[in-house]
Amino acid sequence: MRLSSRVQAPTKQGSIRGLASFVKSRTSSKGFPFAHGQPGGMLQACRPQPGANGPRGQQTRGARWENYTKANYGSQRGNRYRNNDHKQSFFDRLKPETTIYAIIALNGAVFLVWQSAKGRANSFGDYGLVNWMVKNFSIMWVNLSEGRLWTLITPAFSHIDPMHLFINMFVLYSFGIDLARLLTPKRFLKFYLGAAICGNVISAVVRGIVMPISTGNHSTKAQPSLGASTSVVGITTLFACLYPNATLMLFMVVPVPAWLATVGFIGWDMINVVRSSNSKADGAGHLGGAAAGAAYYWFKLRPLIRRMR
């Protein structure tokens, strides 16, 4: 089982006002409607160094970014996505907050199904629902070899342990809303699912092909893994690529730059891959999610930022 911030978009003046913390308030008196509350949660509010007017210090032009995202990120209050000229689909009309809350709600619903399945198994010896959930909401080589390709996505909404669910959803909430504002909700959803697919493919290949060949232990082909960690690690890695010097509060206590925290977690996941037979954490899935976040930054966002100099 995988055991496993927020970023501010450029305003029309082309400046990054700071990084929002994990707070309840979500509106400001003017400008881009971001939270400006007291620092808390995993990400402490901070400001870029002088001259750092955008991701990685690049000078960005808000109007060009708005044209790229096709979203009205101006100072108007209310529905920020209503005044676009192009015809909008359902996903174009989604708000960042609604997108994150929907993902959290879906994860919570699947978690309740897992609890029901465990209850039926423990109380009545009925493992039918447990077996169905393992086949459809966990990733393992056996599932893919039997044609259940949807398990490349469904594990990103699946948790059994309540603490596992809480940690993943807390990190998703802390980083996800502002990244959804930066990318637009539609692109954020695509990235969330893409990171899940990338992480789950790596996880299945490592457990289903690499480990049986290297260790001779073929039982890992049927070893299930689940959790939103693939997508969450992708989100945090993307954040660290955009804002490497942002201050994160590690374990709510230790302030560290985002790049150092990300490198540390990636190193830990590499160790877990090596000793995966003795670890509950799916390090391979985490590394796949991190690779998706880094690739999205390098091939999608970095060229755009360079053009905005």
| CA-CA-CA-CA torsion sign (174, 177, 182, 187) | positive
- Provide the mean pLDDT of the chain: 75
Residues paired with 46 in a beta bridge: 19
Q: What is the pTM of this model?
A: 0.72
Tell me: pLDDT of 6 over 60. Answer: no
pLDDT tens per residue, range 106-144? 999 999 999 999 999 999 999 999 999 999 999 999 999
Alpha-carbon span 203 to 116, nearest angstrom? 27
pLDDT for position 4: 39
pLDDT for position 61: 41
Half-sphere exposure of 229 (CA within 13 A, CB side): 28
Tell me: pLDDT of 46 over 60. Answer: no
pLDDT tens per residue, range 205-245? 988 888 888 877 788 888 889 999 999 999 999 999 998 88
What burial class does residue 121 get, using C-beta atoms within 10 Å of its C-beta: 0-12 exposed, 13-18 middle, 19+ buried? middle
Task: Spell out the alpha helix ranges (H) of 11-82.
Answer: 62-69
What is the band of 28 on the pLDDT scale with cuts at 50, 70, 90? Answer: very low
Helix H or strand E segment including 254: strand 254-257
Most confident of 40-44, 83-87, 281-285: 281-285
What is the band of 258 on the pLDDT scale with cuts at 50, 70, 90? Answer: confident
5: Cβ contacts below 8 Å, ≥ 6 apart: 19, 42, 43, 171, 174, 175, 178, 236, 239, 246, 248, 258
What burial class does residue 28 get, using C-beta atoms within 10 Å of its C-beta: 0-12 exposed, 13-18 middle, 19+ buried? middle
Tell me: pLDDT of 200 over 70. Answer: yes
